[in-house]
Amino acid sequence: MRNFSNPGRSVTYGMNGAVATSSSHASQVALSILKSGGNAMDAAIAACAVQCVVDPMQTGIGGDCFAIVSPSGDDKLFGLNGSGKAPNALTADKLLDDGIDEISLTSPHAVTVPGAIDAWTRLHEQFASMDFADLLAPAIDCAENGFVVTQRTSVDWLLAKDKLLENEQAAKLFLKDGETPGAGTVWKNPALAETLKRIAKEGRSAFYEGELAEKMVATLNAAGALHEASDFGAASADVVDLIQTEFGGHDVHQIPPSGQGITALLMMNILKGYDMDGLDPVGAKRFHLQAEAARLAYLARDKYVADPAKADVPVEMLLSDEFAAHLRTFIEVGKAGDAGGAGALDKHKDTVYLSVVDKDGMAVSFINSLFHPFGSGIADAEAGVIFQNRGAGFVVDKDHPNCVAPGKRPLHTIIPGMVTKGGKMTHCYGVMGGAYQPVGHAHVLSNIFDFGMDVQEAIEAPRAFYNAGVLEMEETISDGVKQELADMGYEITAPEMPHGGAQMIYVNQETGVLEAGTESRKDGHALAY
C-alpha cells in the first residue's frame, strides 16, 4: 500500500469489471460499455477507437494493433499480430539503387500498410458482443463534436509540432494557425469522423478497398511511397502462438516475433539469475542489474528478431535457460558493460495500451500504435488519417534477418502482456513507450514479484532505461543513486519525458476482486465497479 503522505494514486478496486487506459475519455467509454452489458473486447475496441481521436500523436487508425485475450479468465490465451507489411514493390535493392541505406523515421518507405482496422474487425468478429458501429460511435462523437485536450496530450502534441509543419496535410489536420492545441482546448477532426462512419457502416472493406483505400494510396504515392491498392487489400492480422517464460512463480506471455516481446522475456530470464531480495527497488544495484539485462537482451533483439514468415528466428534458443546463463557471464556486477556486447553474441515510439477485464473473466491486453509521435508525419487530410512509420524498424542489409522485403513485417515494438498462474489469468498488463517497452515489462513485474508492490505502486515507481550506451534516469531517482551508477561507468542522462506508460489489472483469484492501476505519467484513469 502506498504512503499517503507522498503524491500518488491508490489502487482502483472492483468486482464486476475494470478498465485502465492512458486517457480519461477512453476509460469512461470503456467502463460505460461494461456497465451496459458489453464485454471486455467491446470495451477495448471502443476505448482504443476513442484514443485514436483524442491522442492522435500516440495512436490512430493509420497504425497497428496487437492483442492478447483470455476469453474465460484462464490460461487458454489468444494472440493476434495486427501489424502491417511492407508494400510488394519495396525491396532492399530498390532502396540501395536509390542511395538509401537506412529508412528514416519520416521516409515514405517507413509507412507499412496500417494493420489496426483489420485487427479490430478480426477481434470483434471472434470475441465481441456488440455491433461494431455501436463501438465506434463514441469515437465518432469525439471526432465530430469535439473533445477536450488533456495536459500530457497537449505537451506531446507540442513536442511534435515541427514534424507536423513539414507535411501540409498533417498541419491541416493537427494544427490551427500553425500551432498545437493547449490543455483545455476543444478539438475536432471531422474528416476522421467521416472515415470512422464509413468503417462503422461497411466494416474492414471501407478502409482497405475502394475509394478510401485508393485515396490513401495516392497520398502515399505522392509522398514517394510504393504502395498499391492491392497492398491494402491484402492486409491481414495473424493469429499467433504465444511465447512465455516463468518469472516470479508466474508464467509471463508475449506475442512472438515480429514483435519484441521476446526481448522482455529474455530480460526476465537474465534477471531471475540474481537474488533481488534485500535490494533497494530504487537503488543503484537494482538499476545496474536491470541495465545490464537490457543491454544484452536488446543486442540479441537487434541481431535475431524479424518476421518469422520471412526469416529464421531462433525463438527456442533465445528463450532457453542456457542462453540467459551465457549472457549473464558478460555481466560484471558493479561495472557498466560494453555497449557493443564484447562478444556476447559474436557480433528505438509512441503507443497507447489499455487493459480490460469484465464480470465473466474475459481479459483483453490491447495495444495500438503509430510508433513515433504522429508516425511518419505523412497524412491524408481528406481521410483524417496519419500514417505510422513502422518500416523504420527494418534494416537495409540483405544479410540481416530484419532486412526490408516485399510483404514483410518489420521488427515491431508494441507488446501487450499477460500473466497466468495455476491455470488462471492473474495480470493483464502492458507498458507503452517504443523501444522502452521490454524494460518496462521487466521493471513493473519485478516491482510486483521481487519487491511486493501493488499494481499502482509498481507502475508509479521510478524508471531507468539503458538505451544505446546511455542510462536515462527519471528525475525522481536520487542524485546519490545516479552518482553510484556513474561511478560504475554509466553515462547518465535525463529523458526528455518520463519513460513509457503502464496499465495493469490484477485478478485476485482467491477473492475475485479486480485491482486496477494506471499511469500517473499520462492522463488516464483506472476505473472499476
Q: For the ranges 141-145, 182-186, 196-200, 351-355, which has the lowest average pLDDT?
A: 351-355
For 381, the grid coordinates are: 487530410
Is residue 350 over pLDDT 80? no
Query: How far is Cα of residue 368 from the mean position of the Cα atoms in its chain?
Result: 6
Model confidence, pTM = 0.96
For 358, the grid coordinates are: 469484465
Question: What is the DSSP code string of 210-248?
Answer: HHHHHHHHHHHHHHT----HHHHHT---EEE--EEEEET
3-state secondary structure of 64: strand
pLDDT tens digits, 411-453: 999 999 999 999 999 999 999 988 899 999 999 999 999 999 9
Residue 8 banded pLDDT, cuts 50, 70, 90: confident
In this prediction, residue 341 carries a pLDDT of: 75
Strand ranges across the sheet with 470-473: 464-467, 470-473, 491-493
Is residue 126 over pLDDT 70? yes
pLDDT tens digits, 223-255: 999 999 999 999 999 999 999 999 999 999 999
Catalytic residue among 150, 351, 426, 518: 351
Is residue 302 over pLDDT 70? yes
- The ranges assigned to domains in the chain are 22-85+115-239+364-380
pLDDT tens digits, 82-102: 999 999 999 999 999 999 999
Average pLDDT for the chain: 96
Cell numbers 497537449: residue: 154
pLDDT tens digits, 209-218: 999 999 999 9
Is residue 348 over pLDDT 50? no
In this prediction, residue 468 carries a pLDDT of: 84
For strand 147-148 and strand 501-507, is the pairing parallel, antiparallel, or unpaired?
A: unpaired
Is residue 266 over pLDDT 90? yes
Q: Which long-range contacts (CB under 8 A, 24 or more apart) does 311-317 make?
A: 311/401, 311/402, 312/401, 313/257, 313/401, 315/243, 315/256, 315/257, 315/262
In this prediction, residue 343 carries a pLDDT of: 64
In this prediction, residue 347 carries a pLDDT of: 37
Residue 358 banded pLDDT, cuts 50, 70, 90: very high
In this prediction, residue 346 carries a pLDDT of: 52
Q: Which long-range contacts (CB under 8 A, 24 or more apart) does 215-221 make?
A: 215/380, 215/382, 215/383, 216/380, 216/383, 216/385, 216/387, 219/169, 219/378, 219/379, 219/380, 219/383, 220/108, 220/111, 220/378, 220/387
- The answer to whether 351 is a known catalytic residue is yes
Is residue 143 over pLDDT 70? yes
Stretch (H or E) spanning 68: strand 64-70
Is residue 524 over pLDDT 70? yes
Q: How many whole angstroms separate alpha carbon 44 and alpha carbon 355?
A: 7
Q: How many whole angstroms separate alpha carbon 517 and alpha carbon 213?
A: 38
Mean pLDDT of 329-347: 82
Question: What is the DSSP code string of 356-409?
Answer: EE-TT--EEEEEEEEESTTTTS-EETTTTEE---GGGG-B--TTSTTB--TT-P
Residue 349 banded pLDDT, cuts 50, 70, 90: low
Is residue 342 over pLDDT 70? no
Query: How far is Cα of residue 308 from the mean position of the Cα atoms in its chain?
Result: 20
In this prediction, residue 7 carries a pLDDT of: 76
pLDDT tens digits, 97-116: 999 999 999 999 999 999 99
Percent residues over pLDDT 70 in the chain: 98
Mean pLDDT of 485-503: 95
377 sits in the region (left: phi over 0; alpha: psi -120 to 50; else beta) called left
